[in-house]
Chains A and B, each alone.
Chain A
Amino acid sequence: MEKYFDAKYIWESFPLLIPYIKVTFLVAGLSVLFGTLLGFILAVMKLGNSKIAQKIANGYTTALRCTPSIVLLFLVYYGIPKIAENFGLNLSDVDKIVFIVITFSLQFAAAMSEVIRSAYQSIDRGQFEAAVSVGLSNTQAYRRIIFPQAFVVSLPNFGNSLLELIKEGSLAYTIGLIDVMGKASLIIDGRFNAHAFETYLALSIIYWVISIVIEQFFLKLEKGFSKGKQVIKPT
Chain B
Amino acid sequence: MSESLNYQFLVKTFFTALSGVPTALIITIVALLIALPLGFLLALTRINRISFLHRFAQVYVSFVRGTPVIVQIFIIYSSVPLVLTSIFKKFQIETNVYDINPIWYAFIVFSLNTTAILIEVFRSALSTVSKGQLEAAYSVGLTNVQAFRRIIIPQTLVVALPNICTATVNLIKATSLGYAMSLQEITLRAKVAANVGYNYVEAYIDIFLVYLILCSLVEFLFKLYEKRLRKYKAANA
- The answer to whether A212 and B62 have CB atoms under 8 Å apart is yes
On whether A197 and B66 interact (CB within 8 A), knowing A66-B169, A70-B187, A75-B204, the answer reads: no
Interface residues on A, range: 35 or more
- The answer to whether A68 and B62 have CB atoms under 8 Å apart is no
Is A122 part of the contact surface with B, judged by Cβ < 8 Å? no
| Alpha-carbon separation in the docked complex, A82 to B85 (Å) | 46
| Alpha-carbon separation in the docked complex, A212 to B215 (Å) | 30
Taken residue by residue from 182 to 218, chain A's Cβ proximity to chain B (1 for < 8 Å, 0 otherwise) reads as 0000000000000011001101100110111001000
Is B212 part of the contact surface with A, judged by Cβ < 8 Å? yes
Taken residue by residue from 1 to 15, chain B's Cβ proximity to chain A (1 for < 8 Å, 0 otherwise) reads as 110100000000000
- The answer to whether A5 and B173 have CB atoms under 8 Å apart is no
- The answer to whether A71 and B211 have CB atoms under 8 Å apart is yes
- With a CB–CB cut-off of 8 A, which chain B residues contact A11? none
- The answer to whether A211 and B207 have CB atoms under 8 Å apart is no
Residue from A78, A86, A171, A207 within 8 A of B67 (CB atoms): A207
Distance (whole angstroms) from the CB of A124 to the closest CB of chain B: 21
Is A67 part of the contact surface with B, judged by Cβ < 8 Å? yes
On whether A78 and B82 interact (CB within 8 A), knowing A208-B63, A208-B67, the answer reads: no
Looking at A171, A200, A203, the one whose CB has the most chain B CB atoms below 10 A away is A200
- The answer to whether A212 and B78 have CB atoms under 8 Å apart is no
* Number of residues on chain B facing chain A (CB within 8 A): 37
- Contacts A200-B75, A204-B72, A211-B67 aside, 10 further interface pairs with beta carbons under 8 A come to A65-B169, A66-B173, A67-B212, A68-B176, A70-B176, A75-B201, A75-B204, A167-B69, A170-B68, A208-B63
Chosen A-B contacts, 13 in total, with CB atoms closer than 8 Å, are: A66-B214, A67-B211, A70-B176, A70-B187, A85-B1, A86-B4, A167-B69, A168-B68, A196-B74, A200-B74, A200-B78, A204-B75, A208-B63
Interface residues in chain A, defined as those with a beta carbon under 8 Å from any beta carbon in chain B: 4-5, 62-63, 65-72, 74-75, 78-79, 82, 85-86, 163, 167-168, 170-171, 181, 196-197, 200-201, 203-204, 207-208, 210-212, 215
